[in-house]
Amino acid sequence: MSKYSIEAFVNETKENPQERDYFELEKPQLLEINLNNQSVWTKAGSMVGYVGNVKFEKQGMLSGGLGNLLKKAISGEGAKLMKAEGTGKLYVADSGKKVRILHLNNESVCVNGNDVLAHEQSIKNDITMLKSVAGMMSGGLFQVKLSGTGHIAITTHGDPLTLLVTPDAPVFTDPNATVAWSGNLSPELKTNVSFKSLIGRGSGEEFQMKFSGHGWVLIQPYEEVYSIEK
pLDDT digits (tens, 9 = 90+) for 13-69: 787 776 678 999 999 999 999 999 999 999 989 999 999 999 998 765 444 444 433
pLDDT digits (tens, 9 = 90+) for 193-220: 555 545 444 454 567 889 999 999 999 9
Query: What does the pLDDT average to over 170-186?
Result: 91
Domains of the chain are 19-219 (3.60.160.10)
State the amino acid at position 105 in one-letter form.
Answer: N
Residue 162 above 60 pLDDT?
A: yes
Query: What does the pLDDT average to over 122-136?
Result: 68
Its pTM stands at 0.81
pLDDT of res. 132: 53
Q: What is the 3-state secondary structure (H, E, C) of the chain?
A: CCCCCHHHHHHHHCCCCCCCCCEEEEECCEEEEEEEEEEEEEECCCEEEEEEEEEEEECCCCCCCCCHHHHHHCCHHHHCEEEEEEEEEEEECCCCCEEEEEEEEEEEEEEEHHHEEEEECCCEEEEEECCCHHHHHCCCCEEEEEEEEEEEEEEECCCCEEEEEECCECEEECHHHEEEEECCCCCEEEECHHHHHHCCCCCCCCEEEEECCCEEEEECCCCCCCCCCC
pLDDT of res. 7: 87
